[in-house]
């Protein structure tokens, strides 16, 4: 039997964390579990002032925010047959995470080079 919600132990772990690192990819929204966890993480960011650090891997923050491109297609597929309330919670969490300061994978090479330069200079 599949559960409809994330496990209480996972919710407790999210709530007791100081920082949440969210790795968003083109297929992130294909997982109901990831979306439910994201809702909880963003709730804790708002209510408990936890730090949420999104990392956008092979997806643009604007695609996450506006649900466009492959990310949007995957999201719409996951939402099929779900309640409006549930999909709206997911949608709002995605908007929130997309507008949170984070890192984009296209900048990793630049970050790596600048980190190495500081190390050797």
Catalytic residue from among 9, 37, 60, 85: 37
Query: 3-state SS of the chain: helix, strand, coil percent to 5?
Result: 65, 10, 25
The residue to which tokens 């007791």 are assigned: 16
Q: Provide φ and ψ at 54, rounded to 5°.
A: -80, 140
88 is catalytic: no
CB atoms within 10 A of CB 86: 15
Work out whether strand 19-24 and strand 103-104 pair parallel, antiparallel, or are unpaired: unpaired
List active site positions: 37
């Amino acid at each position: 039997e599949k559960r409809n919600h994330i496990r209480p132990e996972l919710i407790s772990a999210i709530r007791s964390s100081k920082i949440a690192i969210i790795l968003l990819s083109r297929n992130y929204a294909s997982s109901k579990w990831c979306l439910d966890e994201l809702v909880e993480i963003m709730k804790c960011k708002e209510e408990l002032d936890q730090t949420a650090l999104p990392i956008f891997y092979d997806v643009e923050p604007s695609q996450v925010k506006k649900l466009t491109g492959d990310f949007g297609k995957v999201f719409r597929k996951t939402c099929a047959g779900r309640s409006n309330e549930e999909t709206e919670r997911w949608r709002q969490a995605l908007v929130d995470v997309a507008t949170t300061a984070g890192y984009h994978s296209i900048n990793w090479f630049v970050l790596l080079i600048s980190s190495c330069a500081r190390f050797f200079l």
